[in-house]
Structure 1
Amino acid sequence: MFSVESNYRLSKRPQTGGVVTNSHSMLPVRILSARIPSKPMISRKFRLPYEHIVKQVTHEHILEKGTGLTFEQMRYLDKTQKKTTASSDVGDQILTHIKRDTDIQIKQTYEKLIQAERSRLEEEYQLKTNQLNLKWKEQLETEKHTLQEEFNNLLTNIDQKRHETNREKEKELIRRMKDESEAALARQWQLANERLSKAVEDTERRTQRLMELQFIQEKQNVIDETVAKMEIEYSQRERIALQTLKQELEEKHQLQIREIDESHKKQIDEWKTKNKLTEKKFHQEFNDRVRLESDFRLLQTDYKRFMDYTNFFHSDYLLKLHHVGQQLTSKKICDTKFEQILDRILNELNQTSSTTLPSNYSRSSSLKVSKCSLNIRDN
């Protein structure tokens, strides 16, 4: 759409000058007809390369170039300021730089012009499309209005024809409906009479049932009243009986409590007497024990004195043990023989003690004496 409209506008636009080639046929005319300004700083020799002359550049041309050159070109030209002539290689390089700058500038101008023309064409296209849309909307509204009117006219015609065709059908339908309604009314009247007779019978049965239920309800009410009265009387009698029973039980309970208190008092008195007797026995036993301990301490002191006076050898057993120990120290007997001698001495002593004294008394006394002696010696 854009390309066709732009070509159409370009074909209608008058020519402003310039030559349009086949390669740039798509560009606008004012872009194609724009003349490229000539560079006054470039000599005629360089603008006409087909002339068979020597390519040279002078110091004047370099100064006329001015700021159009790049920084590298300026440095290169500063080095060659004092030279009046330059070689052909230097001229070729300057020409190539100048051509490149001019090509870049031309390309930039072409791009700017193309961008401006494109924006202008887009604005024109947008404006044209908006105008066409408005025009199409107006046409659609008008066509819609006309079609709606035609449709309404058709509907009215159809309704008229339908009413005309249906009028006779309605008359026939009304007549048939009257006949059917009369027949239906007769059937309904017959059914109503039948239902009325059934309803009368149902009401008679219901009233009879209702009267029976009322009689049963009254009977139940009388029964409930009598039961309530009997319950009240029974509760009163029961309350009186419970009170009497409670009094009797309380009296029995008080008697039992008295009997239990008397029995407890008797038991307490018995336990008190027993406690007194046990206390007496305890004091007596305690006094006996204290007396016995005092006697035993006196016996211990006597035994200690006896031990101190007899130099520990107060029995045959100790004398024999002392003699055997001296033999053991002098190496006259060995350890095993010493143990055998000790066993033999103990057996002899046990036999002699059992023959001379009663068994229980002698053993208990010997053990007590030996323990006491050991305690005294330790102290």
Structure 2
Amino acid sequence: MIDLKTIYEAHERIKNVITETPFAHAPRLSQESGCNVYLKKENLQVTGAFKIRGAYNKIASLSDEERSRGVIAASAGNHAQGVAMAAQIFGTRALIVMPESTPLTKINGVSYYGAEVILAGSNYDEAYAYAARYGEEHGMVFVHPFADEAVMAGQGTIAIEMIESMNDMDAIVIPVGGGGLISGMASAIKALAPHIRVVGVGAVGAPAMRESYDAKQAIDSTSVRTIADGIAVRDTSPITLSHILETVDEFVSVDDEEIANAILFLLEKQKLVVEGAGAVGVAALLHHKLDHFRNKKVGVVLSGGNMDVTLLSVIIEKGLIKSGRKMKLTVTLIDKPGALMQLTRMLQDLNANIVHIAYDRTSTTLAYGDANVMIHLETKGSEHQSQIRALLKEHRYLSSEEH
């Protein structure tokens, strides 16, 4: 466990830099999950994620000589922005190594704070190896995103704020990637309120820490693949694993479909933009991974909100289709004047709004004299879509549907 005194010292050190983010009841999520849910909105933190807490605490703990040599870090984005902002405050050079697949919004976020960016490797672990090697060669101080006591202590300050606001929670649900956030938070929780159960949530596509927790020994993954890029860590840190085994009561995993559903739920029902890593706790609740806390008071950490807007647009589009609010059809017509008007008039009569239409008469799968019409419709749910399918069938249109 991280010493509680160390975490309180970190809280005092960072309090004038960070935002003490809201910790508020979520009525709709409570209703959907059957738990009494409160959200710690670190997605509203300065830099858009909790990582500034640990990064600032670490850099503030360095000597003047160490800061003069500059700092280097490897990150998928949020830790990078935290290090960059903290270094800017201290007037220290910062170099951030990020995976080549890092979303542009996170690269721009780092550059905004004046840090230099190098893109290297296909995932965090390859970027980490490059950064560690570069830092050693150039005498820079490496700021680890999770396996560092000062960083973990900084992240643990979230738990202090939550417990000071509400000390009668039954459980606190925390995202897990490399394990720095949950190590710091769980240490504070078990020291301040040991009755609170600590629940870690990871991504199915990044299973190393979950498998290590179950096996009680460090197990690395061969690869990671998840939309929750902030917790897409391939290798398990023995340092954070030891804290997790000591302080974490249970560990669950959610897949990308469940994470996407949680992102869309938070956007639509809670009016919150939360990235994949930040949404895993809500995903676990919505998809009944934590039903044993039904009617209990549960705190959930929304760890970050630096969402790639391109990915967000895909999640929204798929969500509209799955919820029956959008429909994509391909209908085969006889290619003659008035045929398309007849089809669109039928759809108009059913109050289906056409938002996109395309016409194809050259596909080799078509009979001569036929044409395919690709139509995207705004619809009013599954019953409305059933009416559209029935009408097309009644009028003997050949149609297929994209799901």
- Taking structure 2 as the reference length, the TM-score comes to 0.12
Q: Which has the higher strand share?
A: 2
Based on CA coordinates, which of the two structures has the bigger radius of gyration?
Answer: 1
More helix by share: 1
Higher relative contact order (CA 8 A, sep 6+): 2
